[in-house]
Amino acid sequence: MAILDELVSQIENPALRERIAAEVDKLAKQKKFGLVFEEHLPECTPLWDIPVKKGAKVALKAGQVSDFYTVIKIESDKALCLNKDKSETAEFNVDELVCIAEFGEPIYPYLKPLDTVCNAPDSDLWHTLIEADNYHALQLLEYLYTGKVDCIYIDPPYNTRAKDWKYNNDYVDPNDSYRHSKWLAMMKKRLILAKKLMNPLDSVLIVTIDEKEYLHLGCLLEDLFEEAKIQMISSVINPAGAGKKEFARTDEYIFFVRLGAAAVVPESREVENVPVIWDTLRRSSLANARGKHGKGACGPNQFYPIYVNDSTGRIERIGDPIPEGVDRNSVPNIDGCTAVFPVRPDGTEMNWGIKPDEAEARLQAGYLRAGAKRPNEPQKYVISYLTGGIIADIAAGIAVTDGKNEDGTVIAYYPTGKDKMPTTNWNKTTHDAQRYGTNILSSFIGNRFQYPKSLYAVRDALNCFVKEKPNALIIDFFAGSGTTLHAVNLLNAEDNGHRRCILVTNNEVSADEEKSLVEAGYTRGDDKWNELGIARYVTWPRTVCSILGKDINGNPIDGDYGVIEDDYCVDTEDTVVSKRTGNPVSKKIYVRQKVQRLPKLSAFKKSDGFMTNAAFFKLGFLDKNAVAIGRQFKEMLPTLWMKAGAHGPCPSIEESIPNMLILPENQMAILNDENYFGEFADRLAGHPEIEVVYLVTDYEAGFVAMTQALENKTTYQLYRDYLDNFRINAGRNSR
């Protein structure tokens, strides 16, 4: 690129130079490093709510949605159709067809209520599950929550098996040479929309993946989130391992993509009186060897003797720095002391981690000490010190001192334990997907879903970022069995939080169920087919059962949430015995494991359920002309409820459209007839809890005037705001 820039600068014609420079700049932005894939593979989606009519794009219900036609005419129950290549016509029964949309075409989504579960009638916290293709659901969520989402957690299909995931309603064959391109194209479209939902000042995207696609996904994330801080961790989910004739896979990977000020929240140890950690003073990296001058190397004054009294083990004195090239054995001796230098066992001379004056200050404060003598090593004593962070904790009273040791060093500890940062390798008992994923899910809904996440693995991932955000908005648009919402309810139960979760999943059936349904004569969209889809057969039942604390048969669920003390029993004074395996475990290991256990969870019985509520919707599609003249207000109401924050139960109305709706429980109000604005404003004045107001008007000037009259209210112009959003964003979001 530097050569191209130089050549462009030599163009004499300024207009031509500017134009070519602009085109070169475009090419530079399009260039991919480490990630090249076909982006022209189109996706289509069926629109089950749209009636088949002349001019519509349609596909066979029993076929592939990418093999679409255009309806030329309809006579009786027959439709004459032209294929997408415009080369052949065909005639089909109308009931064999479904309307489709190609990604990039304007769609006008709405939410059709399917069900609710209410276990906290006095709470205005309502979670939502949306049955939909997640691309179109994300388009709707963009209209609702652009820049407002605190956390997105997704577990996308891993693209590993023939029946692992679908592209255009067809399972992707593992031998398909375009399978990676299809997967990446699918992910890119959705991640572009997901990024728009995230709060740019403070939010996180969490994506789980395995070894088949983690390299591709990592490159894609770096390409789309170039301003973000990205880390990947390894998480053990199957301690027993899986795989034949290869390394048994025990873990998967989790990408954390942090925007703005988003930071990992420390995890707290549940151990009192934790001693402070003394760090080794000798630098370890060869970049900090004596005489090194590269980037990050120590200064020339950090090679000096530390004199240790051979009788008492105390540090008696800090010597002066030795210039480069001077033999360390030439330093003066002190009677009864050994001059200790930072030297590796192989004889390599290193540097100390601090300068002599700082070492002297820490020595006087009791923050520098000598360890055991090692007469056969080049460095005769291990020298340790307290780091600046621990010293700051002592000064702030977070860590306390309790006298001094015989060598003059402080006795310091953390009286209530010390927070520590989660590591990049998670190996926790509670993340076992079998015990804490499959077994927990089966206890609620039976064996309806394979390979759910561990409830606690998802909880811990979320907790790294929303622990201190009790009102966080969390979205999962690859919801699967619904573990994310279950985990959010668990977090809220722990700290009385008000975090809200939105799940999105399609209603696909399993491969075996699809085969059986087709053999029985059913097609997609049939009631029997829908009953066995994942949204209605797995995700929603789990949501209902976990909130109510009952299984699908109405029986209370046994057991508590979390790993509790009763997993072990005392055997002897020095050991405990695992009730699960019968194996003895040393007290030291037991205490260490106890540190990792889930806090306060043994008090939560599964049968108690959760004090919260949830609503279940299906994403449908509206006729934009009917929306424009207000004929589909009833269908629009759940969308307006969600945009206002989903407070209280989702409202509904009868067929007639009222002049206005004042909904204090939902913290929103709607004016359908601007001729009633005066009365509307008077009634709003008595409800300061109402924050969001929708004004139906075709006139921009009228909307502005009403907005100005409604001080301190967030206003939206219907239906222009809604229609413009999906018309303008359609093509842009498809790229």
Number of neighbours of residue 254 by Cβ within 10 angstroms: 22
Q: Is residue 9 predicted with pLDDT exceeding 70?
A: yes
> What integer pLDDT is reported at residue 595 of this predicted model?
37
E-strand stretches of 444-571: 473-476, 500-505, 568-570
Closest CA to 700 of 718, 682, 680: 718
Q: How far is CA 229 from the centre of its chain?
A: 14
Q: Write a three-state SS string for 42-103.
A: CCEEEECCCCCCCCCEEEECCCCCCCCEEEEEEECCEEEEEECCCCCEEEEEHHHEEEEEEC
605-631 burial code (b ≥16 CB/10 A, e <16): ebebbbbbbbbbbbbbbbebeebbeee
Count of residues making up the chain = 735
CA distance 352 to 329: 17
Amino acid, res. 211? E
Instruction: Give the helix ranges, DSSP H, for 409-524.
Output: 433, 439-445, 455-466, 483-495, 511-519
What pLDDT band is residue 274 in, cutting at 50, 70 and 90?
confident
Asked whether the beta carbons of 720 and 704 are under 8 A apart, the reply is: no
Amino acid, res. 724? D
The strand pair at 126-131 and 613-621 is best described as parallel
Structure-derived torsion over alpha carbons of residues 483, 487, 489, 490, reported in degrees to the nearest 10: 140
On the question of a cis peptide bond just before residue 719, with omega within 30 degrees of 0, the verdict is: yes
CA distance 166 to 322: 68
CA distance 664 to 678: 18
> What integer pLDDT is reported at residue 627 of this predicted model?
78
> What integer pLDDT is reported at residue 241 of this predicted model?
86
Number of neighbours of residue 290 by Cβ within 10 angstroms: 21
Q: Is residue 534 predicted with pLDDT exceeding 70?
A: yes
DSSP class of 606: G
The whole-number average pLDDT for the span 4-22 is: 85
What pLDDT band is residue 560 in, cutting at 50, 70 and 90?
confident
Residues forming a β-bridge with 339 = 307
Q: Cα Rg for the chain, rounded, in angstroms?
A: 32
* Token pair recorded at residue 42: 């189109």
> What integer pLDDT is reported at residue 636 of this predicted model?
92
Tens-place pLDDT, residues 664-684:
999 999 999 999 999 999 999
Closest CA to 493 of 573, 562, 594, 399: 562
CA distance 65 to 169: 7
Number of neighbours of residue 549 by Cβ within 10 angstroms: 18
What pLDDT band is residue 596 in, cutting at 50, 70 and 90?
very low
Q: In the predicted model, what is the mean pLDDT of the chain?
A: 86
Q: Is residue 579 predicted with pLDDT exceeding 50?
A: no
Number of neighbours of residue 407 by Cβ within 10 angstroms: 15
Least-confidence region, from 4-18, 202-216, 583-597, 685-699: 583-597
> What integer pLDDT is reported at residue 728 of this predicted model?
60
> What integer pLDDT is reported at residue 303 of this predicted model?
95
635-668 burial code (b ≥16 CB/10 A, e <16): bbbbbbbbbbbbbbbbeeeeeebeebbbbeebbb
CA distance 141 to 164: 26
Tens-place pLDDT, residues 101-148:
887 777 888 999 999 999 999 999 999 999 998 888 999 999 999 999
The whole-number average pLDDT for the span 685-706 is: 94
What whole-number percentage of the chain has pLDDT above 90? 58
The whole-number average pLDDT for the span 153-165 is: 70
CA distance 734 to 299: 54
> What integer pLDDT is reported at residue 169 of this predicted model?
55
Q: Is residue 372 predicted with pLDDT exceeding 90?
A: no
> What integer pLDDT is reported at residue 138 of this predicted model?
93
Q: Is residue 473 predicted with pLDDT exceeding 70?
A: yes
What's the maximum distance between 2 C-alpha atoms anywhere in the chain? Answer: 112
What pLDDT band is residue 727 in, cutting at 50, 70 and 90?
confident
**482: burial class by Cβ within 10 Å (0-12, 13-18, 19+)?**
buried
Which domains are delineated in the chain?
1-31 (no CATH), 44-102 (2.30.30.30), 109-268+423-548 (3.40.50.150), 274-385+411-416 (no CATH), 565-597 (no CATH), 631-733 (no CATH)
Higher-scoring residue by pLDDT: 184, 352: 352
CA distance 276 to 502: 42
Asked whether the beta carbons of 63 and 525 are under 8 A apart, the reply is: no
Q: How far is CA 526 from the centre of its chain?
A: 34
Q: Is residue 474 predicted with pLDDT exceeding 80?
A: yes
DSSP class of 418: -
Number of neighbours of residue 382 by Cβ within 10 angstroms: 17
> What integer pLDDT is reported at residue 637 of this predicted model?
95
What pLDDT band is residue 307 in, cutting at 50, 70 and 90?
very high
Asked whether the beta carbons of 508 and 182 are under 8 A apart, the reply is: no
Number of H helices, E strands in the chain: 21, 36
Closest CA to 554 of 476, 661, 445: 445
CA distance 356 to 353: 10
Residues forming a β-bridge with 202 = 260
CA distance 693 to 713: 7
Asked whether the beta carbons of 54 and 72 are under 8 A apart, the reply is: yes
